[in-house]
Structure 1
Amino acid sequence: MGLSSQELQDAKEAFSAIDINGDGRLTASEISQLFKNLNEPLPGFKVREMIAEVDTSGNGTVELNEFVNMYEKVKTTKTSYGLADGAKNAKVVKEIGGTSDASAHGTKHSFSSEETASFSNWVNTILGKDAELASRLPINEDTDDLFKAVHDGLLLCKLINSSVAETVDERAINKKKLNMYTIHENQTLVLNSASAIGCNIINIGAQDLMDGKPHLVLGLTWQIIRIGLLSKISLKENPNLAALLKDGESLSDLLKLSPEQLLIRWVNYQMEQAGCPRRINNLTKDITDSEVYTHLIYQVAPEGSGVTMAPLNAGNDLSKAGSMLDEADKIDCKNFVRPADVVSGHPKLNLAFVANLFNTYPCLEARDDGLGDIDLGDMAETREEKTFRNFMNSLGVNPFVNNLYEDLRDAIVLLQILDKIKPGCVEWNKVNMPPFKAMSANMKSIENCNYLVQLAKEMGFSLVGIGGTDINSGNKTLTLALVWQMLRAYTIAVLQSLSGDGKAVSDSDIVSWVNLTLKSKDKTSTISSFKDQTISTARAILDIVDCIKPGAPNFDLVVENPTSDEDKMMNAKYAISMCRKIGARTYALPEDITEVKPKMVMTIFACLMSRSFQKK
């Protein structure tokens, strides 16, 4: 019989409400949290049964189309543990706690007023002094002004740069005489730049951002903010995190922890330093009474700040939260949460609140045993590793990849990527899905890794000397070799799908296309291979951009025949942003151009070749 258009919209809005991390899929923990919030907690096995009923892809999560099927089934049969009521209630919770506004197309969308206010406040805080945004900042936190402020793409470009510096070359942004076409270019630049830093932009289009669709704007904004906040919570950025090591642990153990886990450990460390017996296991239900926050703020606050422990005697939880935030305001760390967000244990906003507090006042001292002074060497994340990790996360893999080696050991993420390269190649009923029992966890992970290697070989990957145990053990060299081939295969698969004939595309084919395209437009630049040192000037890349979209690059901004590293870098930064602006989703960095890294250079030209096919 099918859902009505309104019921379909309800299902989509409910999905957005439940999708806590905004990655486009529901995990068992997110569905479990939904029912906890509705005071209808379900045992883990029932949640897994619910997922199994609709999980056609077999990846252990529920995507939007699967959720719609689940929703439709429940609407007609009233089964599956009351999910229809749960989804409906999730939507109502968002509408009660937030607002409902009409989109540009007249359709009502629910979105979180808490998140709208929180993200607006953060934008005001970090971009408030930007002269180019003066006409739209500060954003009124209690209205929908945020969704209007992002219309032309300028604010989002600057927000991306605030999270990961120099991701967007502002010379590539259209700032004057804007129209729907130049604004669309800006939003394309936003999306491809966001993807390059690890944001999942699946199902978000440039027009969605131009229209200010609330749930999509909030989802992307959160990802950008989250990446910026959590990027500083690492040993590379703060070596004094070594103070959080427990007895018997080494720095390698600390490197395995996600930023969220490090934050929780940091809070507990500060509780110990403060002499407070409380400890937390999460940043949701364990912080709702504001007691831990009060001790934390008092402990890390600079001397003379005037912070007190008064919130402990403030009355009910809501009053305590308000008083606690007054104390946080004394050290300029009130961002992200309001009293109700603390009391409700809002997952995103409390994570952001604590992350901002850590970034501002880490209050960690170097260990006296010298561990904090150790050169991290090859333990710190390399540029190549970060690029590969961002590539994976931009595809919406689950779980989110924080550590390129530790988070791949059970092969779940890598199998998802193979399935995106060649849809349907993974038989998910053959994959062991976590959580695993402790006794069999390693064995099941190795089985997954062996299956991964088998599939990769069948797809033509060169895996000489690489076995499942190498991936499971986190062998860096061999894992990088496999992941690089995945990035290459994904790039080529996209290219082949757009070529029309579906034939295999080789490196020489791409080089030939580059030179033929340049020649057809009377360009003088050429390349002999992806190792050609003239690529370091970025001229050939910018010329290809100009061939695909004539007039797009402003060559007045390009240094002719650059010889200095500085001039080459300026050209490379502009070239990367111009590629993204015309729709080429490249994960390469400017350094890959100036240093002429053949592998990543190949991906740049392959992405441009794909874009040219799209134009046709």
Structure 2
Amino acid sequence: MAGRASVFLEQDQIDELREQFDSLDADGNGTIELEEIGRALELAGLKIPQYKVRKIIDDFDKNKDGKIDMNEFRTLYSKLKKETDVSHIFKKSVSSRTDVQQHTGSSDGITHSVKDSERYAFADWINRNLSSDPDCEALLPIDPDSDDLYTKTKDGILLCKLINQSVPDTIDERTINKKKPNVYQRTENHNLALNSARSIGCNVIGLLSEINLASYPGLVLLLEEGETIDDLMKLSPEEILIRWVNYHLRNSPETNKQIANFSGDIKDSEAYVFLLKQISPREAGVDSTPMMEPDGEMRAEAMLKEADKIKCRAFITSKDVPTVTG
């Protein structure tokens, strides 16, 4: 088992591992019999096939004393936890020069980044959608200026609740460990949330990664004069998205606006205002009145209120839109 990376264990997990280990350490000498390792791992939430238990015993019993101590047990548990993909634990580090929080440690080696603006948006969405749920009362509201988004979701209850918020009754509420779940019950909650998310078609992917011709054949409408489909497929997802925005802006009779990026070119909210009106169904009542607002941030807020009419505001605030004073 040597050479395989292990996952990061939080202190409460280590404490509970020691509790389980000590419960089997009958004589209190700091070791347990290797024959007990299968039982110890099961108590810790890892049910290992017997053939694998025998291999573990062979790997660890190099000195043939038939025992394993707490440090060895902790190392073993950590490695097996990663191998069986029981949970995903992210170690957070914050760069002092940016507003990006990086979470590393996924099994595939990918670095996950969360911007402050995204943290605010997720916290707000959870607070609004789960505020009336009695099981979430002790966990809410989430303070976006703290580590709440990470600490209050670690028991898996909020994650399970979010699944049912998206598709009601996906998870049987009786299967959620709700009353001060220990580390192993939290793992069960996380597994339940992950498996249920997959069952309703959710994937953890980059937002723009699915913008391609295979998923959306209608993107051929974005071809410019003299281009072929091959030319379009060479564009990055962001470039395709810019093409899509400009396509709808060209069809708007109220503006001649075109954008080349999602920074300076959208800071006056004009592109968003007319894009929303162009793509919204008439009965939604989306209009271009936000353009009457001279202040940049207030115009952005008015634009987002229009976006809310078609339920596409949830993960953005007016401060996330680069603004200028008109």
Query: What TM-score comes out, normalization by structure 2 length?
Result: 0.50
Matching residue of 1:333:
312
- Asked if 1:323 is matched to 2:325, the reply is no
Matching residue of 1:270:
248
Residue type at the aligned position of 1:312? M
* Equivalent pairs, count: 218
Residue type at the aligned position of 2:177? K
Q: CA–CA distance in 1 between the matches of 2:322 and 2:252?
A: 23
Matching residue of 1:115:
118
Is the CA contact 2:157–2:178 (under 8 Å) kept in the aligned structure 1? no
Matching residue of 2:221:
243
- What is the CA RMSD across the aligned residues, in angstroms? 4.7
Q: CA–CA distance in 2 between the matches of 1:322 and 1:176?
A: 37
Q: Deviations over 1:260-305 (max 9, x none)?
A: 3322221111111114322222222221111111111111121132
Matching residue of 2:6:
none
Matching residue of 1:539:
none
Q: CA–CA distance in 1 between the matches of 2:215 and 2:295?
A: 38
Matching residue of 1:156:
159
Is the CA contact 1:153–1:187 (under 8 Å) kept in the aligned structure 2? yes
> Relative to 1, partners in 2 of residues 1:322 and 1:123: Cα closer, same or farther, differing over 3 Å?
same
Matching residue of 1:14:
95
Is the CA contact 1:116–1:141 (under 8 Å) kept in the aligned structure 2? no
Q: CA–CA distance in 1 between the matches of 2:247 and 2:139?
A: 38
Structural mapping, 1:164-183, within 5 Å: 175=177, 179-183=181-185
Report SS of the residue matched to 1:308. coil
Is the CA contact 2:259–2:265 (under 8 Å) kept in the aligned structure 1? yes
Q: CA–CA distance in 1 between the matches of 2:291 and 2:138?
A: 39
Report SS of the residue matched to 2:251. helix
Q: CA–CA distance in 2 between the matches of 1:187 and 1:316?
A: 46
Q: CA–CA distance in 1 between the matches of 2:250 and 2:223?
A: 13
Residue type at the aligned position of 1:156? L
Q: Deviations over 1:224-281 (max 9, x none)?
A: 9973754653434433222222234344444444433322221111111114322222
Q: CA–CA distance in 1 between the matches of 2:158 and 2:294?
A: 40
Report SS of the residue matched to 1:274. coil
Matching residue of 2:12:
none
Is the CA contact 2:222–2:243 (under 8 Å) kept in the aligned structure 1? yes
- Asked if 1:279 is matched to 2:279, the reply is no
Q: CA–CA distance in 2 between the matches of 1:225 and 1:140?
A: 24
Q: CA–CA distance in 1 between the matches of 2:96 and 2:163?
A: 26
Matching residue of 2:86:
none
Larger helix proportion of the pair = 1
Q: Deviations over 1:445-503 (max 9, x none)?
A: xxxxxxxxxxxxxxxxxxxxxxxxxxxxxxxxxxxxxxxxxxxxxxxxxxxxxxxxxxx
Report SS of the residue matched to 1:227. coil
Residue type at the aligned position of 1:300? I
Is the CA contact 1:288–1:344 (under 8 Å) kept in the aligned structure 2? yes
Cα offset, 1:187, TM superposition = 7.4
Is the CA contact 2:160–2:176 (under 8 Å) kept in the aligned structure 1? no
Aligned-pair identity in percent equals: 34
Cα offset, 1:179, TM superposition = 3.4
Matching residue of 1:209:
none
Q: CA–CA distance in 1 between the matches of 2:311 and 2:271?
A: 18
Structural mapping, 1:130-529, within 5 Å: 135=137, 139=141, 144=146, 145-156=148-159, 175=177, 179-186=181-188, 189=191, 227=205, 229-230=207-208, 233-275=211-253, 276-343=255-322
Is the CA contact 2:155–2:181 (under 8 Å) kept in the aligned structure 1? no
Cα offset, 1:132, TM superposition = 9.2
> Relative to 1, partners in 2 of residues 1:227 and 1:289: Cα closer, same or farther, differing over 3 Å?
same
Q: Deviations over 1:514-536 (max 9, x none)?
A: xxxxxxxxxxxxxxxxxxxxxxx
Q: CA–CA distance in 2 between the matches of 1:242 and 1:142?
A: 40
Residue type at the aligned position of 2:252? A
Query: What TM-score comes out, normalization by structure 1 length?
Result: 0.29
Q: Deviations over 1:414-462 (max 9, x none)?
A: xxxxxxxxxxxxxxxxxxxxxxxxxxxxxxxxxxxxxxxxxxxxxxxxx
Is the CA contact 2:273–2:290 (under 8 Å) kept in the aligned structure 1? yes
Gap runs ≥5 in structure 2 = 1-92, 105-110
Cα offset, 1:176, TM superposition = 5.2
